[in-house]
Structure 1
Amino acid sequence: MKPFLLFVFALCMVSCYNAERNCTDFKTGHFYSEIIIDGKPIKSEFNRTDHLQIETYQGKVDSSEVRWINDCEVIFKTINPKNRIERKDIHLKILSTTDSSYTYEYSYVGEDLKQKGTANRAK
């Protein structure tokens, strides 16, 4: 009986764990991010205000409108899309935060394939 009670107690303790998410700390600012696409690291740098994000990615600059769904989820809409892919909005969800970074997942709106990455506050 004791091992069973210990198991139940341990299970309760593990199931109560929630990742820290102070998402409002990352709504605006200057950040850099790295993700892995097709096994290759892709780096970008971006500035985000309440309504706009300007990103530098592989030498090109891209601007998106920012619309927060809640404190931890945001939709990006490319301002001047150049092709069909860029016309698709991107949904980003912050999964966890630290004092200087956040882990996120993102996908095109309406698609199931999600990518994960980490963004760090630029110094």
Structure 2
Amino acid sequence: MKNFIFSICILILTTSCYNVEQNCKDFQIGTFEFTYEINGETKTGKSIRTDSLSIDYYDNKIDTFTIRWVTDCEFIGRKLHPIDFADSKPIQMKIISTKEDSYLLEYSLLEDQSTKKRGTVKKIK
């Protein structure tokens, strides 16, 4: 039993020392490239983001979102010109971790965790 408790303590100590890199401010503004899947086909999109807008180019479409940063690593996006009620639902985006020129993103419809997905975004400018 003592060995079990000792093992648990060692596990907690080693995992609590691991810090995920988050240099989110480096990724708030710029031009980004991302991949996405439609009907089993992987495609590439592009996003140009300022401090308050994001213009997304994907699947031969252009969408503009207003964005509001909640924290340095999380923002809420709303389509500027939604075509219907479902299209007007806000999207929550969280930067989970960062690397030199990319970040891991977790996104979902706001307050609907069943739509949560992850993807990698690369900063190109």
TM (norm. structure 2) is: 0.86
Distance 1:42 1:84 in 2: 26
Q: CA deviation at 1:34?
A: 1.5
Q: How does 1:57-68 map to 2 (within 5 A)?
A: 57-68=58-69
- Matched letter for residue 48 of structure 1: R
Does structure 2 retain, via aligned residues, the 8 Å contact 1:104–1:117?
yes
**Residue 50 of structure 2 aligns with which residue?**
49
**Residue 119 of structure 2 aligns with which residue?**
117
**Residue 79 of structure 2 aligns with which residue?**
78
In structure 2, the gaps of 5 or more residues are none
Distance 2:99 2:107 in 1: 19
Deviations 1:78-122 (A, max 9, x none): 001112222001000110000100001111112112011110011
Residues paired across the two proteins, number: 123
- Matched letter for residue 116 of structure 1: R
Distance 1:17 1:65 in 2: 34
**Residue 26 of structure 2 aligns with which residue?**
25
3-state SS of paired residue (2:65) = strand
3-state SS of paired residue (2:113) = coil
Across the aligned residues of Structure 1 and Structure 2, the Cα RMSD in angstroms comes to 2.0
TM (norm. structure 1) is: 0.88
**Residue 12 of structure 2 aligns with which residue?**
11
Q: Percent identity?
A: 35
Distance 1:64 1:15 in 2: 37
- Matched letter for residue 92 of structure 1: M
